[in-house]
Amino acid sequence: MSLDAVKAAIVAQLTDDYRQTKKVRMVESHRGRFDSVAEIKRHGTASPALLVCTDGVRNCQERFGRHGGIWGDASFFVYIVTRDLPGVTRDTQAEALAGQLAHTVIDNTWNDKAQSVKSIDARNLTTTEVDKLGVALWAVGWQQPVLIEPVDADSGLDTFATLSATWDSAPGDGEPTMEATIELEQETRP
């Protein structure tokens, strides 16, 4: 199973468990760590929000037998973004959601797309700058073995057969000075 398919299964399960029951307003896939406070603020407007990302894979090993293939310990995170609501503070909401997520994750194999969770970690990522935005930021992370399947080259990925480039060797004059189109050699598969 590809990492993307596991992440999609996580998003689907959390949507069913949390979005459909109105515990959160948004569950979506996220590309990774936050680049800016503005990005956190944007997600804070739809809070409480759960943002699922893949952090990487470690300890890849080849296994043989019925469950053979390349397996690795995939790291996933769910970022929790909350803001104050009537009767409940953003910190209380984030802590409660972190605990609920730990219970959701612990025995979950995401429709058999991964093996049992090895460890779970919940962290408060709220900084003074984030707090000034009126939001709390937490992350629940875990590792679990996932079968790493190769991506099918014919699945719609670009073949990178042509490289087209334009260089401006005299910036400021507004005229491109060099252009090139290069046909790249393609490896053929038997």
- CA–CA separation, 154 vs 167, rounded Å? 31
Please indicate, yes or no, whether the overall pTM of this predicted structure exceeds 0.85: no
Instruction: Write out pLDDT tens, residues 166-184.
Output: 666 666 666 656 677 777 7
User: Looking at residues 46-66, what average pLDDT do you find?
Assistant: 87
β-bridge mates for residue 138, sequence order: 80, 124
pLDDT at res. 63: 78
- Residue 163 reports pLDDT greater than 90: no
Share of the chain above pLDDT 90, in %: 44
Please report, for residues 47, 143, 182, 189, the alpha-carbon distance to residue 186 in angstroms, rounded to integers and kept in the order given. Answer: 47, 37, 12, 10
DSSP designation for 88: B
Identity at 80, one-letter amino acid code? I
Q: Please state, in angstroms and rounded to a whole number, the distance separating the CA atoms of residues 34 and 69.
A: 33
State yes or no: pLDDT of 1 exceeds 70.
no
Strands 119-124 and 135-147: antiparallel
Tell me the DSSP string of 110-129: TTTTS----EEEEEE---HH
State pLDDT tens for residues 108-123. 888 777 888 989 999 9
Class of domain 3-147: alpha beta
Distances (CA, A) of 95 to 12, 42, 77: 22, 21, 15
- Structural domain boundaries in the chain: 3-147
What local confidence, expressed as pLDDT, does residue 156 receive? 53
Q: Which residue's entry shows tokens 């948004």?
A: 26
Q: Around Cβ 100, how many Cβ atoms within 10 Å?
A: 16
